[in-house]
Chain A
Amino acid sequence: MISIGLDIGSVAAKGVLIQGGRQYQMMVPTGWSPRTAGEQLIDDLLQSSGHRPHDVHSIVVTGYGRVAVMEASRTVTEIKCHARGVAELYPQIRTIIDIGGQDSKVIQIDSQGRVVDFAMNDKCAAGTGRFLQVMANALGLDVSELAAYEDPEQAATINSMCTVFAESEIIGLLAQGVDKGSIIAGLHLSVGKRVAAMAKRLGIAGEVAFTGGVAMNQGVKRSLEQELGCKVLVPEVCQFTGALGAALIGLDAAA
């Protein structure tokens, strides 16, 4: 039984192929065509696992580009896929925070990994990967470098939640001579506060799992722990949690 899960996000497209106890992972930039990204992921997964298209039993696709992938056996929402993925990685977890390229969400799950409730951010970019990316550009850094440069002891206060205004605000702070590291810590705190408020509104129980591309940023993880007052667990494969969940949902359906 071979099951493929694809998570076509706004920035990156992630794929997981499960065969028995083995797992293969692939990631490509989504670019302008979610369909092409999905096709490429399937090809890459098949190539690395040494299988042919007709060997695959199920392809479950999630993410904003989920309807574009023609090969899909079915589509499932990111919410359900992250829930399934986290239930596999951390069976004890009841609260998931996922921060991706264009949205952030909080998901509550029960002991069976079923979604009990969820909340998503509004249509603006505040509290998402996009917010951090715009800020990194303004600071002349790549988004992946932010955590390495931060100075959490001297966090600057960033008042604007709005991406556009926050960008002007940090340009102002730079002009005042405020240290880059302090600004970055302030940005991480701003994302943490925003997403933590959404989580608290939903209610959190015990530890929290943190998934999505932004979970690779240690600064955001730290500020979430600070704001939530609990431990935040980041899976090693945080970016692949949704794709893993999708592949598992394909396996579950066949079982």
Chain B
Amino acid sequence: MEKMSSVEDFAKIREVNILLIKEAKETGQKVVGIYCTYCPQELVLAAGAIPVSLCGTKEDPIAKAEEHLPRNLCPLIKSSYGFAVSDTCPFFHFSDLIIGETTCDGKKKMFELMQEIKPVFVMQLPHLNQTQASMDMWIDEMRRLKGFLEEKLATEITDEAIWQAIDVVNRETAAAKAICDLNQVEPPPLNGLDLLTVTWSRGFNSNKEEVIAMLDGLQKEYSSTDKESTPRKPRVLLTGCPVGLGTEKVIRLVDEVGGNVVAMENCSGYKTLELQTDTEYDDPLVALAHKYISIPCSCMSPNPYRMELLERMMNDFKVDAVIDLTWQACHTYNVEAYEVSKLVKSKGIPHLHLESDYSNSDLESIKVRIEALLEMVEQ
């Protein structure tokens, strides 16, 4: 019988894996730090290395980052860089190599500075994702990354190993999607914070098969428990910039004022979960390129898939309100907020666009906005 697992198991992933990764390093295994969902982690797995998520979601190292970076930059970039430059993130510390992408201007220039600390490979991500030239370039970037990994990790990456990794990541993605989809019912089995804990923490697990088993176990656990009938809370969809533990203030505030974040369209959430690598291609790098270029990040221009996904999620998750969160100075999400608001309002669903940073200085003003949003649902 499959083992059941709980949200607490996911909450422990980060801590447990720091030790596991330390031990793996001692036996000579290599660790590759990745920042973004655009990074083809399959290539890292195929190289026999451990991919770990490094996205900066805490405020603590921002002051340190501001010694080198401008204050008026997105907090996610500052946090990521701050952790690196202050050597306060164990996962960055253990990383032998770092992979970045030219998603936004702030990130690509930050990665230049990060080169001083660790070897950083920056993939050039095309922003027009519907032309052949973009696709050719992106496939070429996959090949360049493969060459870089082979050289730095002194290994050969075979097609067979990539196909195996593709299978594993496809299964992990499907398992994560199944968890998120549980919340399509009322009442949602996972509250917003649980959902975030599961989807965000899974990136820190060094063993993919283990995380797939945990996701399956969690699904089993929630499918078998009887749903208590509780008063219906307004069902909120969160979209916009990435959110992780440490920057979950909006999710907490929604809960505090009586709502529930039932779905998240952001990076660690649903954004990538519909995307499976197509195994019908002859070349696994071409297959990967097709999947990764489809990710609906606001750095893509135009970015119609995000609107399609949002529209579908509003229906599937029976959403009562949408909150679009932009981190300060994230121009692409901030501009796209206008399109998002038009879409949401056209469905007659109350909508709130928030612009914030990682600090707690605006908790009260954000809270009153969220309260007013939920009042709009209840009226």
Is B365 a contact of A77 with CB atoms below 8 Å?
no
Is A77 a contact of B368 with CB atoms below 8 Å?
yes
Annotate B331-373 by CB proximity to A: 1 below 8 A, 0 otherwise.
0000000000000010000110001000001101100110110
* Interface presence of B375 (CB below 8 A): yes
Nearest B-chain residue to A102, judged by Cβ: B365
Complex Cα distance, B365 from A117, in Å, reads 16
Name the A residues within 8 Å of B355 (CB-CB). 122
Interface size class of B (residues with CB under 8 A): 10 to 19
Interface size class of A (residues with CB under 8 A): 10 to 19
* Interface presence of A24 (CB below 8 A): no
Name the A residues within 8 Å of B345 (CB-CB). 117
Complex Cα distance, B372 from A78, in Å, reads 8
Complex Cα distance, B297 from A97, in Å, reads 35
**Closest CB-CB distance, B230 to chain A, in whole Å?**
21
When the two chains form the complex, which single residue of B350, B362, B375 contacts A76, counting CB atoms closer than 8 Å?
B375
How many inter-chain residue pairs (CB < 8 Å) link A and B? 34
Name the A residues within 8 Å of B361 (CB-CB). 123
Nearest B-chain residue to A66, judged by Cβ: B368
When the two chains form the complex, which single residue of B351, B362, B372 contacts A77, counting CB atoms closer than 8 Å?
B372
Q: Which of B345, B361, B369, B376 has the most CB of A within 10 A?
A: B376
Name the A residues within 8 Å of B351 (CB-CB). 117
Complex Cα distance, B124 from A83, in Å, reads 50
When the two chains form the complex, which single residue of B362, B364, B376 contacts A115, counting CB atoms closer than 8 Å?
B376
Is A79 a contact of B362 with CB atoms below 8 Å?
no
* Interface presence of A231 (CB below 8 A): no
Complex Cα distance, B375 from A79, in Å, reads 9
* Interface presence of A52 (CB below 8 A): no
**Closest CB-CB distance, A98 to chain B, in whole Å?**
12
Name the B residues within 8 Å of A122 (CB-CB). 355
Is A115 a contact of B365 with CB atoms below 8 Å?
no
Is A80 a contact of B365 with CB atoms below 8 Å?
no
* Interface presence of A120 (CB below 8 A): yes
Query: Which B residues are closer than 8 A to A by beta carbons?
Result: 345, 350-351, 355, 361-362, 364-365, 368-369, 371-372, 375-376, 379
Offer 20 A-B interface pairs, CB within 8 angstroms, sorted by A: A77-B368, A77-B371, A77-B372, A77-B375, A79-B368, A79-B375, A80-B372, A80-B375, A80-B379, A114-B376, A115-B372, A115-B375, A116-B376, A117-B345, A117-B350, A118-B372, A122-B355, A123-B361, A123-B362, A123-B365
Query: Which A residues are closer than 8 A to B by beta carbons?
Result: 64, 76-80, 103, 114-118, 120, 122-123
Given contacts A64-B368, A116-B376, could you give 10 more A-B pairs where the C-beta distance is less than 8 Å?
A77-B372, A77-B375, A80-B379, A115-B372, A115-B379, A117-B351, A118-B369, A120-B368, A122-B355, A123-B365
Closest CB pairs A-B (n = 7): A79-B372, A77-B372, A77-B371, A114-B379, A80-B375, A123-B362, A115-B376
